[in-house]
Amino acid sequence: MKIAILTIGDELLNGDLADTNTATIARALMAHSLPVREAATCSDHEEEIVSALQRLAGTNDSVIVTGGLGPTEDDRTAKAAARAFDRSLSLNDKALLQIRARFRAWQREMHPRNEKQAMLPGRSTIIVNKNGTAPGFHLQNQQSDLYFLPGVPQEMLAMLDEYIIPSLLNRFPTPPLQCQRVITAFGLSEPDVEARINHTGLPEGVELAFNVDFPMVQVKLHTRGKNAQNLVDRAELVVRKTLGDHVVGIDNDTLAGTTARLLSTAGITLALAESCTGGLIAKLLTDQPGSSTFLERSVVTYANSAKMSCLQVTQELLDQHGAVSTECAEAMAKGVHATANTYVGLAVTGIAGPGGGTEDKPVGTVYLAMVSPWEERVERFNCGGDRDQVRLRTACTALDWLRRLAIFRLTDPARLSDTSRFSNDGQEG
């Protein structure tokens, strides 16, 4: 079983648009033990599309193609497919009916150019697009199945789930059993993670790989065979034991999602005061459904005047220690904690750059403070990287503090039981 992916578009090669389709398709197929053997990207030039299709079809059982099915002149995938496999290019009545039906459903008039999307290679099977105008199509060339999908991710993924995966599973009814597990760690570098994992402790046959998804490090465990699930489960236990509390998620878990779930379960309510992160911590938390159960408020106090008026940070403190200091971070946390009357008040202040640094406090200097009934904590961090990396690492460090606090409360038998005084109203903002 050999499966390839081909993404088409000049915008993918010149940097205007990131190719997310390859990763999306690969993950979806892997969930069904259908591994991708190779992936390629080519431009919108017809000759290059023809060459890529012929090469991939000649060496793979199945090829999944995305992009170039639109109504404009530079959408040349269907024409190139017809050339590559010596097919006629003609108006497909079923495809045209689908396009017209889509415009009627949208109560919009169909532009004459959209008829071009129904010009498909002969002997093609239509793949219905329920979310857009471009029909997909499936054609066979000798021993290879080729599936052509639009490049729009939402449209592509729906067609992949509804047509291509069932088609592949029909052709390969007993794919080799495979299992993959992704373990996400925070607070360690990639070399540190690798050094901590004892390779000899992993079950034989389990493959190990590492990936950096800044600022996280991912450990990937993969194996195949009858005992794949059991082997990966055992390997996961080894990695979890080795990395300890640096593990923040498994497979699709995110740090923000894990933190939100734990805060909600522990009944901990939270108020944030953000300066250099500009609301990023709140954004990551409110991306999670149900965040209203624990997040009471977030205040972005960028200017000193805002720190004074919203958080009761005094002018004297700012004059003596500066806005980027242990004292200011602590005062911000205490201010938002007192005002919101939540269990936890967390604050961050720092220098994200690219300017504003000094010899004592260079760019990347960040102070994080947390106040709760159980502890008061302030730390200085020196975050490397550009402005976005400093902000993201800072926000993730804040989430990790909250994650660890929630775990502590959940595992402490003496945790507080009366949460009503600090509870949120549960209404989504």
pLDDT digits (tens, 9 = 90+) for 289-322: 999 999 999 999 999 999 999 999 999 999 999 9
Between CA 301 and CA 415 the distance in angstroms is: 32
- Judge if 195 and 338 occupy the same domain: no
- Judge if 277 and 206 occupy the same domain: no
Assign 414 a pLDDT band (cuts: 50, 70, 90).
low
Residue pair 172/225 in contact by the 8 Å Cβ criterion? no
- Judge if 162 and 235 occupy the same domain: no
> Considering the domain boundaries, does residue 142 fall inside one?
yes
How long a stretch of residues is the chain?
A: 429
Nearest to 202, CA basis, from 178, 238, 242: 238
Q: Which pLDDT belongs to residue 304?
A: 96
**pTM for the model:** 0.75
Q: What is the CATH number of the domain that holds 67?
A: 3.40.980.10
Q: Where among 171, 192, 208 does a domain terminate?
A: 171
Q: Which pLDDT belongs to residue 415?
A: 53
Residue 416 has pLDDT above 90, yes or no: no
Nearest to 315, CA basis, from 333, 307, 345: 307
Strand order in the sheet with 3-8: 38-42, 3-8, 62-66, 144-149, 136-141, 125-127
> Considering the domain boundaries, does residue 429 fall inside one?
no
Return the axis-axis angle of helices 77-84 and 46-59, rounded to nearest 10°. Answer: 50
Instruction: Round to the nearest angstrom and report the end-to-end CA distance of the chain.
Output: 49
* pLDDT single digits (tens) 322-367: 999 999 999 999 999 999 999 999 999 999 999 999 999 999 999 9
Q: Where among 125, 143, 171 does a domain terminate?
A: 171
- Judge if 407 and 338 occupy the same domain: yes
Q: Which are the contacts of 372, defined by CB distance < 8 A and separation ≥ 6?
A: 337, 343, 344, 345, 405
> Cis before residue 215, ω within 30 degrees of 0?
yes
Helix locations, 148-187, DSSP H: 153-159, 165-171
Between CA 335 and CA 157 the distance in angstroms is: 47
- Judge if 408 and 339 occupy the same domain: yes
- Judge if 398 and 276 occupy the same domain: yes
Assign 421 a pLDDT band (cuts: 50, 70, 90).
very low
Number of C-beta neighbours around residue 237 at 10 A: 12
- Judge if 9 and 148 occupy the same domain: yes
Between CA 126 and CA 136 the distance in angstroms is: 6
- Judge if 296 and 379 occupy the same domain: yes
> Considering the domain boundaries, does residue 371 fall inside one?
yes
Q: What is the CATH number of the domain that holds 211?
A: 3.30.70.2860
- Judge if 105 and 130 occupy the same domain: yes
Assign 423 a pLDDT band (cuts: 50, 70, 90).
very low
Q: Which are the contacts of 413, defined by CB distance < 8 A and separation ≥ 6?
A: none
* pLDDT single digits (tens) 131-182: 999 999 999 999 999 999 999 999 999 999 999 999 999 988 776 667 889 9
| DSSP single-letter state for residue 175 | P
> Considering the domain boundaries, does residue 43 fall inside one?
yes
Residue pair 231/206 in contact by the 8 Å Cβ criterion? yes
Domain count, the chain: 3
Q: Which pLDDT belongs to residue 35?
A: 86
* pLDDT single digits (tens) 88-138: 999 999 999 999 999 999 999 999 999 999 999 999 999 999 999 999 999
Residue 429 has pLDDT above 90, yes or no: no
> Considering the domain boundaries, does residue 370 fall inside one?
yes
> Considering the domain boundaries, does residue 277 fall inside one?
yes
Place of tokens 């106040």: 371
Record the tokens describing residue 357, joined without a space. 């640094």
The helix (H) or strand (E) run that includes residue 366 is strand 365-371
Residue 424 has pLDDT above 70, yes or no: no
- Judge if 341 and 368 occupy the same domain: yes
Could you give the C-alpha distances from 58 to 1, 51, 89, 397, in angstroms and in order?
13, 11, 21, 49
* pLDDT single digits (tens) 201-253: 889 889 999 999 999 999 999 898 888 889 999 999 999 999 999 999 999 99
**Cβ burial 186-199 (10 Å sphere, 16+ → b, else e):** bbbeeeebeeebee
> Considering the domain boundaries, does residue 364 fall inside one?
yes
Q: Which pLDDT belongs to residue 226?
A: 82
Q: What is the CATH number of the domain that holds 316?
A: 3.90.950.20
- Judge if 67 and 111 occupy the same domain: yes
Instruction: Tell me which residue range forms the domain holding 116.
Output: 3-171
> Considering the domain boundaries, does residue 153 fall inside one?
yes
- Judge if 230 and 270 occupy the same domain: no
* pLDDT single digits (tens) 12-64: 999 999 999 999 999 899 888 888 999 999 999 999 999 999 999 999 999 99
Number of C-beta neighbours around residue 37 at 10 A: 14
Number of C-beta neighbours around residue 57 at 10 A: 24
Q: Where among 234, 250, 266 does a domain terminate?
A: 250
